[in-house]
Amino acid sequence: MLFSSITFLYVFLPVTMLLYWAAPVRARNVVLLLASLVFYFFGEKAYTLLLVFSSLSDYAHSLFIEKNRGHACARYALISSIVINLAMLGFFKYADFLVGAANSLLHTDIPLPGIHLPIGISFFTFQTMSYTMDVYWGNVHAERSFTGFATFVCLFPQLIAGPIVRYSDIAEELHERSVSLSDAACGVRRFVFGLGKKILIANTMGELCSVFRGSGEQSILFFWIYALAFTLQIYFDFSGYSDMAIGLGRMFGFHFPENFDYPYVSRSVTEFWRRWHMTLGGWFRDYVYIPLGGNRTSRGRWLRNIAAVWLLTGLWHGAAWNFLAWGGLYGVLLILEKLWLGKYLKRGKVLPHVYVMLVVILGFVLFNADGLTGAVYDMRGLFGLLEGIPVVSDETFYYLRSYAVPLLLACAGSLPVWHKTYDRFSEHPAMTLLEPVSVCVLLIAVTACLVDGSFNPFLYFRF
């Protein structure tokens, strides 16, 4: 089920809210858990059992680990939990990739399994793995209530595409939470504005990308327009989903971590990754990079740790060679910044920003390509290395004129100026009326688009 669907907005969410508030306080986790399972079942049917199995497995492992902490059997239980989670992720997400790689390497012709990827598996397996590791390290106590733990794993606002919420983020709120009128209003506002980012901006940029892919008159300029459009699409699509998830969580009394902080203002790749998908970056830092030794080791091992994290980051995003290359690209750039380039980036403002945006745009072209072959084709198009491709064409100018205003608005919307303007006037008396009216108008506009529009899945559902 999509947040950006009429069914969710006007059936599932209102019914869930009514049942939630009508239920006794002690039963509200049960309501959320059942609603979350229905939410997942609506899109995945049989794979809902996989979600339940994951919850049962890590619930049992965590109780055993805490009971036997300090003994070797606790370590074996942690390894067992990690192996089960990675086996599920590996089987459903990487089976086709691994068989294809084996066929290429060994010149065999093994049929691809063709396994359907369960939505959200990359997110909920990382959440449950972080939980068992935290229990093993003594950072949190094991959750005694299976209902409470399963609610944490299955909580529908963040189940499908994050943010990656750790148990410690909401442990207290799982057992005791309240929602004031102010909290509810804040949650609704955050949700509706995230919905607007997805429907009005991300989907429009996606239309432009589709137009480019279907064009018979591609040009160098059109390749760059496509590259910019996808860079904006993926930001508004994913940050919009995160806004909706955080807003929904707030409406039910949960405070989820932020996931984006205007990454396109960055002046180094290091800064960009402190601002982009922050919960994933924090996960790899705390559960991979630091356990490997972080930067408190020899230079060689430190560089190995960075390389390992970024190859895994690329692989987490997708089972294809272009994702590995994308992660490797960022690993190389981060190493260069830490060893040499960083000191020069600190001295400027404009050129470092240009450098970051060029890297990000080219990186997302690689990210969105149809494998490495497609990536090479797109890169050649960007730099005029495709035979017979003109610099511009009449079709390019037509679509540039048609999408100029949405492109400019999207670029402006990716900057923090609007957020700062809102903060500046948020206490003005006029906002008491202007804010709810703006939210209602935006919701009406989005609803109109959904009624007339087509299927609009989130990009990160692929991963």
The Cα-based distances of 178 to 143, 184, 191 in angstroms read 20, 10, 18
The active-site residue, picked from 71, 255, 317, 419, is 317
Beta strands in 261-362 (DSSP E): none
How many angstroms separate the CA atoms of 403 and 397, rounded? 10
Q: How far apart are the first and last CA of the chain?
A: 16
The Cα-based distances of 302 to 55, 162, 262, 307, 338 in angstroms read 34, 29, 28, 9, 11
Instruction: Count Cβ atoms within 10 A of the Cβ of residue 394 and give its class: 0-12 exposed, 13-18 middle, 19 or more buried.
Output: exposed
Q: How many CA atoms lie within 13 A of 143 on its CB side?
A: 27
Q: Token match 């940050």: residue? A: 239
How many angstroms separate the CA atoms of 21 and 28, rounded? 8
Tokens of 194: 């995230």
Residue 416 CB contacts under 8 Å (≥ 6 apart), including other chains: 262, 265
> Residues 349, 323: contact at Cβ < 8 Å?
no
Angle at 167 between CA 162 and CA 170, to 5 degrees: 85
Beta strands in 368-442 (DSSP E): none
Tokens of 208: 């432009």
Tokens of 130: 């972080």
Coil/strand/helix, residue 162: coil
DSSP string, 87-130: HHHHHHHHHHHHHHHHHHHHT--PPP--PPPPTTHHHHHHHHHH
Is 317 a residue of the active site? yes
Look up residue 200 and give its DSSP letter.
Answer: I
Coil/strand/helix, residue 37: helix
CA-wise closest residue to 367 among 306, 308, 303, 313: 313
Q: Supply the residues annotated as catalytic.
A: 317
